[in-house]
Structure 1
């Protein structure tokens, strides 16, 4: 039901349909405009539903929706995937949502930034997609610190305006997390002297898939890439496409490949 110009006034009707249906497993309401007082009805219906996958992307939801979202999530035992991306949930009630997340059974969350508290105390979340936000800033370190105590296996941080200065924080989060298997950093700007920190951490991580495409990496990144690959025993897939890696140090990367366990290189 995405892109149907549904509004807050549609929520009671949606709620009625959901409440009386025990077979519905996936509900996609993306790209509508559900913000308003009746959004509460929809979230109350979620509590008794059997829905496993709920998409609320780009619905003009605000901080006022967070208590209702929190109630729906907290009391639902079937929901595993929740997409809240491209909303504007930041505000005083956002903490309600994060508190509910810690006791939910959600395994896959597509959401907004400022999630450190929810991640830190959640032991079921396995996939976190924060792509397309603007995470490059002073609080990025909080998110990476929370990663160290989470059980996240897949983290997507594409197109987040992350720069070279983010690499030490990324390195810290990866170094102390033993569950992360897939890390996507595509569409950022990680080229610089601190890229070395990220590659040094790669050597002791359990990461199997790493996407560094479109990151303004240059020839000077090759020695660090080579070191990370050479000393990592788990990495199977590496994406370096859409960078500018041509230069004299390309040889370093090629020499590291035979001793790596990489099966797919892009």
Structure 2
């Protein structure tokens, strides 16, 4: 047996140690059940196992050290259980690409060996645990990682400057910890970052000017720290809808929309020195503007080629630019039930609010249920149909999303124009009722 799946079945009881006898097993899927007890150490015998999904159960006890024997394991998803104790450093022996240990009772420091796994490329989520100690400097070696979430633990100390080496990061969440000292300017090296959350810590000092150059940010949350000094008034800090800085009583300046008090001015006793400073700043600003323009043009060109290549590979039209999973989560308030406007055999439709050309637009997001047979084929077929069709009575497709969610699952969605007048079923039933009367 190479694959075993018991997902979404409300299975109770424990996982037997005998599972370690399935030595040819390559993938074990048991999420969304009611499994209890500890994770059997015999899983370490499955040296062909590449994927282990046990999330959303009621498992407890420690993580077996024997998991480090799984030298082909690339995906380990154990989130939302009651697993306790430290994270074994033996996990560094696994060629992991995705790691989810979130929403458990894990404690102790995060082992530095964990952040030395060079194969990590999708995401690491250890949020909502009780990890303590400092964030290891080895985190900077995760050059290929897309997402890192260590929020709501008890991590202390400073944010290591080496984190600027995570050049591929699109999502970084360190909120809800006890991080101290200053925000490292090296965070400005994360040019591809879309969401950066450092809120609810004890960070002090000023906001680094380098963060202003992160023009791809959709959320920059620095709220509820001990930051002080002037807020930058250029780059991303010109967009009040992106930055969150409440709860920092020592901040001043910034754009007027922030409503902060003006920063105190310092008079100089040497007019000549003042002119020299102004001249130097002007020249540096001009050079920075020129560099920024060329950087933006290069990024735009690279993004255009990347999007075009991806869409051509998937068979979809070049006219649609994808949105990210994180943007859809933000636009639907986490796919909140109050935004659900309909559901069908292949998925659900949510009302969402997104930004386009500095304006907010209301759209309809159809999220496909990929557990349903034929859903993926429906996604491609619907995109191809709407690409070729042209009719005034057809709802216009605006964009698409083909990605993975924060737990590593495939995610596909279509974004349409939002029609506020109900659906076809409601119109037919209303007309039938009126005719009967």
Q: Same fold (TM over 0.5)?
A: yes
Note the alpha carbon deviations across 1:117-142, whole angstroms, 9 max, x for none: 32x3333422433444444x4x4242
User: How far apart are 1:181 and its partner, in Å?
Assistant: 1.9
CA distance in 2, matches of 1:31, 1:143: 35
Are 2:43 and 1:88 aligned?
Answer: no
CA 1:173 to 1:192, structure 2 compared with 1: closer, same or farther past 3 Å? Answer: same
Unpaired runs of at least 5, structure 2: 153-175, 245-437
SS of corresponding position for 2:66? helix
**3-state secondary structure, aligned to 1:203:** helix
Is 1:244 equivalent to 2:219 in the alignment?
no
Q: CA deviation at 1:239?
A: 4.2
Q: Structure 2 vs 1, CA of residues 115 and 141 (structure 1 numbering), >3 Å: closer, same or farther?
A: closer
Between the aligned partners of 1:247 and 1:98, the Cα distance in structure 2 is: 41
Structure 2 CA distance, aligned partners of 1:141 and 1:124? 15
With over 3 angstroms needed to count, the CA separation of the structure-2 counterparts of 1:54 and 1:109, relative to structure 1, is same
Secondary structure at the aligned position of 1:166 is classed as coil
Partner of 1:53: 29
Distance 1:97 1:122, change over 3 A: closer
Alignment partner for residue 116 of structure 1, among 54, 79, 89? 89
Answer whether contact 1:174 1:180 (CA < 8 A) is retained.
no
Greater relative contact order, per chain length (Cα 8 Å cut-off, separation 6+)? 1
Structure 1 residue ranges without an equivalent (≥5): 1-18
Partner residue in 1 for 2:170: none
Per-residue deviation, residues 31-86 of structure 1 (Å, max 9, x unmatched) = 94405xxx0344546955x8663227862215xx212x2234x3446x36343885
Q: Is the alpha carbon distance of 1:192 and 1:86 closer, same or farther for their aligned partners in structure 2, counting shifts above 3 Å?
A: farther
The equivalent of 1:177 in structure 2 is 142
SS at match of 2:134: helix
1:166 aligns with 2:134: yes
Instruction: Please show how residues 32-111 of structure 1 align to structure 2 within 5 Å.
Output: 32-34=12-14, 39-42=16-19, 44=21, 47=24, 53-55=29-31, 59-61=36-38, 65-67=40-42, 69-72=43-46, 74-76=47-49, 79=51, 81-83=53-55, 86-90=59-63, 94-100=64-70, 102-104=71-73, 106-110=74-78
Structure richer in strand, relative to its length: 2
Higher gyration radius (CA): 2
- Secondary structure of the corresponding residue to residue 183 of structure 1: strand
What is the CA-CA distance between 1:178 and the residue it aligns to?
0.8
1:210 aligned to which of 190, 193, 196: 196
CA contact (8 A) 2:98 2:122 kept: yes
Superposed displacement of residue 254, structure 1: 5.5
TM-score, normalising length: structure 1: 0.58
Q: 1:229: which partner in 2?
A: 211
Structure 2 distance, partners of 1:191, 1:176, is: 20
- Of 177, 187, 197, 1:189 maps to 177
Q: How many residue pairs end up in the alignment?
A: 213
CA 59–217 in structure 1, closer or farther in 2 if over 3 Å, else same = same
1-structure distance, mates of 2:11, 2:198: 29
The counterpart of 1:128, out of the listed 95, 100, 105, is 100
The 1:81/1:183 distance shift into structure 2, 3 A limit, reads same
Q: 1:143 to 1:183 in 2, by over 3 A?
A: same
32 and 231 in structure 1: CA distance in 2 versus 1, 3 angstrom threshold: farther
1:8 aligns with: none
When you count helix as a share of all residues, which structure comes out higher? 1
Q: Within 2, Cα distance between the matches of 1:115 and 1:46?
A: 23
- SS for the counterpart of 2:14 is coil
2:319 alignment partner in structure 1: none
TM-score when scaled to structure 2? 0.38
Structure 2 CA distance for partners of 1:259 and 1:159, relative to 1, 3 Å: same
Q: CA deviation at 1:208?
A: 4.0
* 1:153 corresponding residue in structure 2: 122
- Aligned equivalents of 2:143, 2:58: Cα separation in 1: 26
